[in-house]
Amino acid sequence: MKRNYLVLIVFGAAVALFIAGAVTADVLMTSRIASRIEQQFPKASGISASIPFLDVPQNLISDSVRAADINIERYSLKGSDAESALAITAANISKSQPTLVGSLDITATIPASTITKNSGLENAQIVGNALQVSVGNSGLGKALLIPKFANNQIFFQLQSVSIFGSQIPASSLPADIQSQIAKKSVRNLEIPRGLKLKSVVLNSKGLSINFRGNNIKLDKLGKSL
């Protein structure tokens, strides 16, 4: 009986040591990743990183870190004065080549307050996944606009107009209205080297722009993002 008790104590101590070691390794890896991001993205602030705890044993014996999530609270995208929040998912982060990442998914979110303030459109506010603005005499009508991306430019496209409760689809309106709205709301955006733009979505948090790429070198990305 006493022997079984000793076995349980030894086993419990071994498990505790393993967990403590895994936690220490987790903290060390995330600290290094955050430091690496800070070096390659000097304009960034509010950097934090995390890796799945269950990946720690594999990460210790592998030549790469399987996955990591990085959050940046404030970052100004190249070509833009607006500060964005960045959510980054990185996979297969090389240990031998500290700046090489197997795959990268970046979502830059421009705050809702910045979008409504700088849209160049009257009484702009976000409603669902669209931008609602006032139109017509005295602003009696409401128009819903959705974000679009083309030719390295982000702009808003008319979806529908509502006047006195009657909704009119964009297809029933003069074509020049679309071009006027696009011209007024257009903003240039440089796509970072090695990444492709996958989506532009508007929600209550703001305008989210998603980029993805494979075999990305962070030192080159930092100069083009």
> Which pLDDT score is estimated for 28?
67
> Mind listing the pLDDT tens digit for each residue in 22-37?
445 455 667 777 888 8
* Rounded (5°) CA angle 215-152-75: 65
| Closest to 157 in 3D by CA, of 143, 147, 142, 167 | 147
| pLDDT tens-digit readout, 175-217 | 777 788 778 788 888 888 889 999 999 999 999 999 999 998 8
- Phi, psi at 13, each rounded to 5°: -65, -40
Instruction: Quote the CA–CA distance of 53 and 66 in Å, as a whole number.
Output: 11
Quote the CA–CA distance of 115 and 117 in Å, as a whole number. Answer: 6
For residue 223, the Cα-to-chain-centroid distance in whole angstroms is: 18
Instruction: Break the chain into its structural domains and give their ranges.
Output: 2-111+206-224, 113-188
Phi then psi for 131, rounded to 5 degrees?
-100, 120
pTM of the prediction? 0.80
| Phi/psi at 152 (5° precision) | 60, 30
